[in-house]
Structure 1
Amino acid sequence: MNLDLLRTFLTVHRAGSLTKAAAHLGLSQPTVTVQVRSLEEKLGKQLFVRRAGGVTPTGVADELAGQLGLHLDALEEVIDGVLATDPGNQTLQFGGPPDLTTAKVIPALACLIERGVRVRTSFGPPDQLIEGLVAGRHDLVVSTTRPRQAGLTVEPLFEEEFVLVAGVCWAAQLPDEVTTDGGAALDQVPLVSIGEGLPIVGQYWTTAFNRQPRMRPAIVVPDLHAALSAVIAGAGMSVLPTYLAAEAIRSEQLVRLYDPVISPKNMLYLVTRTGLCQPQVKVAWRHLMAEAEYW
């Protein structure tokens, strides 16, 4: 019998809710549901009756929880005690996109240092990060695309919104209404991009102006922080996440060129291996999910 199934069952029994149990375990609700159903199939017994707002345990579930509770709690205390005495096991291997990791994730994880958690971060594109997660090189990953591989627990973390900005000198040269002729006036402004293929700019132009951008980038930089610096320095315009550009806009270092009816957005996902229950992974998962509500 898989101990993860028993642990999930006991957490659902105690929480009275699949959603609350998922939050406690650091798993997605669908994963918890699948694990409960899997245990029910193995036992050949129904364990919970689904109802609005939660679940009600059956008599079989109450009996099973009573027999398992003390034993599983004792086992977890032993495991947590071993981990607590081995600092190497308290290291969280985190991977994510460089800009969000630098601006939001690292500050959010800083408080875990007081709890004895060591954090090691690495950057990379989503495919590379997920490959590292599956291979065990990462414990926790923020991905800009939703992974579809089996054996992963995935939750939406943060929806980033994008804004079109330029330095003050360039903004002053543009008409008040840049949407005239599908934003044609913008074609004459130098573009700062994180790639020759205009990955973020192309998404913005399609959503805001219903066409592909016609310009080629004047400057190509490796990340969005570099793009922010270039635009503030007067290099032209760029499309940046609002969390990165907001302070420069407030301080009037940058000007927001357009406020579309529908702002381009992109969901980022928090990902770990299903069943990965080390204390540092669980606490980091819960902390990031809570902090992201204010990003």
Structure 2
Amino acid sequence: MAIDWDRLRVFHVVAEAGSFTHAGERLGMSQSAVSRQISSLEDSLGLKLFIRHARGLVMTEVGEQLFRTAHRMAWELQSVEAQMTESQDMPSGPLLVTTTVGFGSTWLTSRIDEFLDRYPTIQMEIKLNDSELDLAMREADVAIRLHRPNQSELIQRKLFTVHFHLYASTSYLEKFGIPKCVEDLDNHRIITFGNPSPEYLGDVNYLERLGRPENNPRQPILRVNAIYGMMQAAREGIGIAMLPDYITEGEPSLVQVLDDVETPEFETYFVYPPALKASKRVGVFRDFLVSKARDWSF
């Protein structure tokens, strides 16, 4: 059974777009022409790739399997094309970066403008996702992980160690006072992540147990299942939160309290697959991150 490569390309775009109309806009084709291409591909395979309904398209199980293969092929082709067009002095082509929502929406995005100014021919896309995307499956090119990677085959470069500290807003401290010792936290409102918390954040709910018996944790006034949301809640004066350094940067309304208390920490890594070891785009982005990590004052 031979698969027509042009139809496979159309299928890949349709699967990503979720509709014939949006796929047609990306391909410069009419909606009916796209639909005919997909019908022809399904007829040649003798299989249904999409379930059609009024709100769009849903891939069948076979369609999802074909999409994963087509996606890897498209990524490999795009990677080869980019390597062929990259010049020695000006890396170019797509670069898909993934990291967590909290880290990506604060530390990373506040620095990325400098990189894009320096390398305007790199087309960067950032996917913020607290669930780790699979680099081996080409769901992203590179990742910034808040823990040492589990896959030994991935190339990794440590960027820095992230420290947690306790923070509250000036408005909260004016209203409820400044805690002078760990025991004072029992009389304060605290904000925690809740359970289950992601492994990459380590002991993010340490504030519930700090200075308390194991069987009698401190009860938070609010749980938020996102570090960025915890920071915003603390900024609004809801309570005291234990937050990583990267998310409190540039937040003048947040004040560190009990700064002599020992708190958890974790390491952050830049990670990419061996297939991209020679990529100039990956190399310059790695070097950029390392330089910014070195300059960052903890």
What TM-score comes out, normalization by structure 2 length? 0.59
Change (3 A) 1:202 1:225: closer
Q: Tell me whether 1:121 sits opposite 2:89 in the alignment.
A: no
% identical equivalent positions: 19
Change (3 A) 1:81 1:145: closer
Cα contact 2:190–2:239 (8 A) shared by 1:
yes
Amino acid aligned to 1:271: V
1:236 is aligned to 239
Amino acid aligned to 1:148: N
Change (3 A) 1:211 1:135: farther
Q: Tell me whether 1:220 sits opposite 2:219 in the alignment.
A: no
Cα deviation, residue 204, structure 1: 5.4
User: For 2:217, what is the secondary structure of its paired residue?
Assistant: coil
Cα contact 2:107–2:247 (8 A) shared by 1:
no
Aligned-CA RMSD value: 3.2
Cα deviation, residue 267, structure 1: 0.8
Amino acid aligned to 1:107: S
User: For 1:118, what is the secondary structure of its paired residue?
Assistant: strand
Distance 2:196 2:221 in 1: 12
Q: Tell me whether 1:140 sits opposite 2:142 in the alignment.
A: yes
- Aligned counterpart in structure 2 of residue 153 of structure 1, from 152, 155, 164: 155
User: For 2:134, what is the secondary structure of its paired residue?
Assistant: helix
Distance 1:228 1:101 in 2: 14
- Aligned counterpart in structure 2 of residue 82 of structure 1, from 76, 84, 95: 84
2:282 is aligned to 281
Distance 2:157 2:139 in 1: 20
Q: Tell me whether 1:167 sits opposite 2:169 in the alignment.
A: yes
Cα contact 2:207–2:242 (8 A) shared by 1:
yes
Distance 2:268 2:160 in 1: 5
Cα deviation, residue 200, structure 1: 4.5
Distance 1:81 1:230 in 2: 45
User: For 1:135, what is the secondary structure of its paired residue?
Assistant: coil
Cα deviation, residue 164, structure 1: 0.6
Change (3 A) 1:175 1:241: closer
Distance 1:210 1:290 in 2: 40
Cα contact 1:162–1:204 (8 A) shared by 2:
no
Change (3 A) 1:97 1:81: closer
Change (3 A) 1:92 1:218: same
Change (3 A) 1:178 1:197: farther
Which structure shows the higher helix fraction? 1
Q: Tell me whether 1:268 sits opposite 2:273 in the alignment.
A: no
Cα deviation, residue 151, structure 1: 1.8
Cα contact 2:208–2:219 (8 A) shared by 1:
no
1:291 is aligned to 292
2:257 is aligned to 257
Change (3 A) 1:263 1:113: same
Per-residue CA distance 1:48-100 (angstroms, 9 max, x = gap): xxxxxxxxxxxxxxxxxxxxxxxxxxxxxx98772339xxx711110111222
Gapped regions of structure 2 (runs ≥ 5):
1-79
Amino acid aligned to 1:278: S
2:188 is aligned to 189
1:71 is aligned to none
What TM-score comes out, normalization by structure 1 length? 0.60
Cα deviation, residue 210, structure 1: 7.8
Per-residue CA distance 1:94-123 (angstroms, 9 max, x = gap): 011122212222333333434211111112
Distance 1:246 1:81 in 2: 36
Amino acid aligned to 2:231: L
Amino acid aligned to 1:178: C
User: For 1:229, what is the secondary structure of its paired residue?
Assistant: helix
Cα contact 2:95–2:281 (8 A) shared by 1:
yes
Cα contact 2:191–2:220 (8 A) shared by 1:
yes
Count of aligned residue pairs for this structure pair: 206
Distance 1:261 1:220 in 2: 22
Gapped regions of structure 1 (runs ≥ 5):
1-77
Cα contact 1:171–1:257 (8 A) shared by 2:
no
Cα deviation, residue 293, structure 1: 1.0
Distance 1:245 1:254 in 2: 7
